[in-house]
Amino acid sequence: MFELEKIKKQLQPLDETACQAAVERQGQLLKPEGSLGLLEDISIRMAGITGKVKNSADKKILFLFGADNGVYEEGIASAPQEFTHLLMSHYAGTAKCGINVICEANQVDLVLVDMGIIGTFEGQNVENHKLMNGTHNFAKQPAMDRETVLKAIEIGFNYARYAKDNGYDIIGNGEVGMGNTTTAAACVMAALNISDPEIAVGLGAGLTEEAFARKKQVIADALKNHQPDRKDVVDILSKVGGLDLAAMTGLYIGAAYYKLPIVIDGVISIAAALLAYRFHPLTKEYMFASHVSKEPAYRLAAEEMQLHPMLQLDMRLGEGTGCPIAMRVIDTALAVMREMNTFADVAADTEYREELQVDNSRGN
């Protein structure tokens, strides 16, 4: 039986001994200390996750969760709702979309999951975990009941277990669902106790000014009417969330439970990460932020968790497209830790090491 509270008690912090050993090795590598910046931080945190100083992340996987959102009825999205089904069909078919190409280019396996898309995918390579044909319209009623949220979280959690059982070294997550920047912003606002939508709500996928104003009002009204408990992620998701967000939240929790590094994509992805963090702060230690999103809710969530995205690429596609690119950066960080020589390896004398430190202080 899936018990969230039991899982919470079993989450563990990073291996501090391994982290310290990684810090010490970084200080011995043939370079000025700190000169590789975030690459050094990545390799140190990976050591804490695995318990080993030298790591690789050769086997990679990305889970893409699809779901429709009832709040779409309120005119808060620019594309037709049928695009959720259409895009998932393309991901599963022969038409190569952004996520397909980017996963292939970076040797990342892709798993497609239907959490609540209107329509079926008979004969297509989409795993069926449909819990609803889209959520309810949270402008009128809660998006779903608590039982449904818990089922969705469990599904995401079990995909982390699948990754662990099948020898994957690192996981990513993505989504597809018209209107899910609305649900993501609502969840971030609820988790951070923000009532003013001007602070957290962005344009999403090219809204008109009228639709943008409507989006902000719908979110503000829903938060006022439903009063989600910011300390209860299940309550937040049930009132203003989405099935994709709930599954992704479960995936983050599962990644921490099974001690797997997990990469964050854009605003929907980081909204789920924030909910996992609200569930237990230790989940953050296993997260790596891939790229900066222009959505204000992304910035708010990243600041709350003190996460530092690796890339600034002006990406806003979603689908998980930032994750495989960031995984390549992580590969590089791990290669430096594994393969770079130390001063001792080349018998570098103290004078040479001191000269490197002087050069480093001048900048590049």
Please determine, for residue 52, whether its predicted confidence score (pLDDT) is greater than 70. Answer: yes
Per-residue model confidence (pLDDT) at position 202:
87
172 and 263 in a single domain? The answer is: yes
46 and 77 in a single domain? The answer is: no
Q: What is the CATH number of the domain that holds 9?
A: 1.10.1610.10
* Percent of the chain predicted with pLDDT > 90: 86
- Residue 242 is encoded by which pair of tokens? 């989405």
* Choice among 319, 339, 351, 355 that is catalytic: 319
98 and 180 in a single domain? The answer is: yes
Q: Per-residue DSSP letters for 267-332?
A: HHHHHHHHHHHHH-GGGGGGEEE-B--SSHHHHHHHHHHT---SB-------TTTHHHHHHHHHHH
Per-residue model confidence (pLDDT) at position 2:
87
Q: Per-residue DSSP letters for 40-89?
A: HHHHHHHHHHHS-SS----SEEEEEEEE--GGGGGS--SS-TTHHHHHHH
pTM over 0.85: yes
Q: How far apart are CA 200 and CA 232, in angstroms?
A: 20
102 and 232 in a single domain? The answer is: yes
Q: Do the beta carbons of residue 257 and residue 309 sit within 8 Å?
A: no
319 is catalytic: yes
Read off the pLDDT band of 317 (50, 70, 90). Answer: confident
155 and 185 in a single domain? The answer is: yes
Read off the pLDDT band of 353 (50, 70, 90). Answer: low
Per-residue model confidence (pLDDT) at position 351:
60
Where in the sequence is the domain holding 23, given as residue range(s)? Answer: 4-55+335-362
**How do residues 198-244 score in pLDDT, each as one tens digit?**
999 988 767 888 999 999 999 999 999 999 999 999 999 999 999 99
341 and 327 in a single domain? The answer is: no
Per-residue model confidence (pLDDT) at position 299:
97
Q: Per-residue DSSP letters for 150-215?
A: HHHHHHHHHHHHHHHHTT-SEEEEEEE-TTHHHHHHHHHHHHHT---HHHH---TTT--HHHHHHH
Q: What is the CATH number of the domain that holds 139?
A: 3.40.50.10210
Per-residue model confidence (pLDDT) at position 44:
98
Q: Measure Cα distances from 242 to 83, 104, 235, 252, 265 in Å.
A: 16, 28, 12, 16, 17
**How do residues 64-122 score in pLDDT, each as one tens digit?**
999 999 999 999 988 999 999 999 999 999 789 999 999 999 999 999 999 999 999 98
Please determine, for residue 270, whether its predicted confidence score (pLDDT) is greater than 60. Answer: yes
Residue of 297, 253, 257, 306 whose CA lies nearest to 275: 253
Please determine, for residue 352, whether its predicted confidence score (pLDDT) is greater than 70. Answer: no
pLDDT average, residue stretch 14-34: 96
* All residues at 6 or more sequence positions from 328 whose CB lies less than 8 Å from its CB, including other chains: 106
70 and 44 in a single domain? The answer is: no
Per-residue model confidence (pLDDT) at position 235:
99
